[in-house]
Amino acid sequence: MKVAVVGATGMVGQVMLKVLEERNFPVTELIPVASEKSVGKTVNYKGKDYSIVSMQDAVEMKPAIAIFSAGGGTSLDWAPKFAEAGTFVVDNSSAWRMDPTKKLVVPEINANVVEKEDKIIANPNCSTIQLVMVLHPLNQKYDVKRVIVSTYQSVTGTGKNAVDQLNAEIKGDDSVAKVYPYEIFKNALPQCDVFSDDDYTKEELKLMKEPKKILGDDTFSLTATAVRVPVQGGHSESVNIEFENEFDLADVKKILSETPGVIVMDDVENNIYPMPLYSEGKDEVFVGRIRRDKSQPKTLNLWIVADNLRKGAATNAVQIAEYLVQKEFV
């Protein structure tokens, strides 16, 4: 099948190619797409070089699936053109996520909402995906009432220039352009993305809105603080969950350990808990530090870590594409 990867030279695009290859996605013709300045350059897929093509050329090649990771503006402009040409678009930008006519999908949770008519399908934000992977099974059993999440986000979520900024600062090199308003090395910035009018960042608003749509449940409330830290392997989240119903801690651990795509790493006697250094390059969502909140009843604290470029972006997008194949929509 003809598969286009839009934004193939970016950090997420590169991981998408790797994940398609690793999972042996049935690609018969790869169409890497990137900005005009990259057209003619090549990307490697399964040991072969493929020439990057322009967006217009890619539309005309009518791929069965186009996986986009090219920014919201590009998705708004181009996803409909691919869709009109009959291509299924899996879009990793924020452009369509909260559009009521588009599905927002984490396959382990709500793949069943996808129908053949859904030509543009939205991939959730990275910090949302790892949160809902844990929230969903617990919501099914104990009914979530309120969630407080604080994130510790990897610079890879901002992109290559941010990784370059961190690495330059580690070396004491001042010549690299700064992506963040401050140094990131030896620092923690309580700002991921730009601020909106209500003093929350866009990242925090994504975290507060997307989970309800994915879980198909708007009966719980959620608040978030998103922080950028000098880390590369994945995003971490400290999460406080209040339930409507009393829970059993052993049962919580059992539910999570039986959830596909989630791995419980929780053995504090041996200092075992999830960390970004460990999650890097892995597809699962790791959860640990699972304990009762002693300050109030029916409330749980836990710590979630995942590679934001894998399950938080590329892997989830490829899983959606796999679902389209499995349902024979493509």
Residue closer to ligand 2RA (CB basis): 192 or 256: 192
Q: Does 224 bind ligand 2RA (CB under 6 A)?
A: no
Secondary structure of 249-262 in HEC code, one letter for each residue: HHHHHHHHHCCCCE
Residue closer to ligand 2RA (CB basis): 14 or 308: 308
Q: Are 265 and 282 in contact (CB under 8 A)?
A: no
Smallest CA-to-CA distance from 125 within 208, 10, 247, 229 is with 208
Q: Does 315 bind ligand 2RA (CB under 6 A)?
A: no
Check the annotation: does 231 bind a ligand. no
Residue closer to ligand 2RA (CB basis): 96 or 142: 96
Residue closer to ligand 2RA (CB basis): 163 or 325: 163
Check the annotation: does 228 bind a ligand. yes
Rounded distance between C-alpha atoms, residue 124 and residue 105, angstroms: 7
Annotated active-site residue 235? The verdict is yes
Neighbours of 44 (CB within 10 A): 13
Fill in the amino acid letter for 198: D
Q: Does 158 bind ligand 2RA (CB under 6 A)?
A: yes
Q: Are 122 and 103 in contact (CB under 8 A)?
A: yes
Diameter of the chain by CA atoms? 60
Least Å from the CB of residue 154 to ligand 2RA = 7
> Residue 36: exposed, middle, or buried by beta-carbon count in 10 A (0-12, 13-18, 19+)?
exposed
The residue from 27, 104, 192, 265 that contacts ligand 2RA (CB under 6 A) is: 192
Element (H, E) at 3: strand 2-6
* Region from 139-147, 150-158, 262-270, 293-301 binding ligand 2RA, contact rule CB under 6 A: 150-158
The residue from 7, 157, 234, 274 that contacts ligand 2RA (CB under 6 A) is: 157
Q: Are 253 and 187 in contact (CB under 8 A)?
A: no
Annotated active-site residue 192? The verdict is no
Q: How far is CA 160 from CA 11, 32, 84, 178, 179, in A?
A: 6, 18, 32, 12, 10
Residue with tokens 């797409």: 33
Check the annotation: does 11 bind a ligand. yes
* Region from 18-26, 104-112, 151-159, 281-289 binding ligand 2RA, contact rule CB under 6 A: 151-159
Q: Does 149 bind ligand 2RA (CB under 6 A)?
A: no
Among the listed residues 20, 104, 126, 255, the single catalytic one is: 126
The residue from 5, 126, 224, 306 that contacts ligand 2RA (CB under 6 A) is: 126
Check the annotation: does 299 bind a ligand. no
Q: Does 153 bind ligand 2RA (CB under 6 A)?
A: yes
Rounded distance between C-alpha atoms, residue 24 and residue 275, angstroms: 28
Q: Does 125 bind ligand 2RA (CB under 6 A)?
A: yes
Residue closer to ligand 2RA (CB basis): 87 or 156: 156
Please report, in range form, the residues annotated as the binding site for substrate. 153, 228
Active-site amino acid positions = 126, 235
Which residues are near ligand 2RA by CB under 6 A? Answer: 125-127, 153, 157-158, 192-193, 203, 308
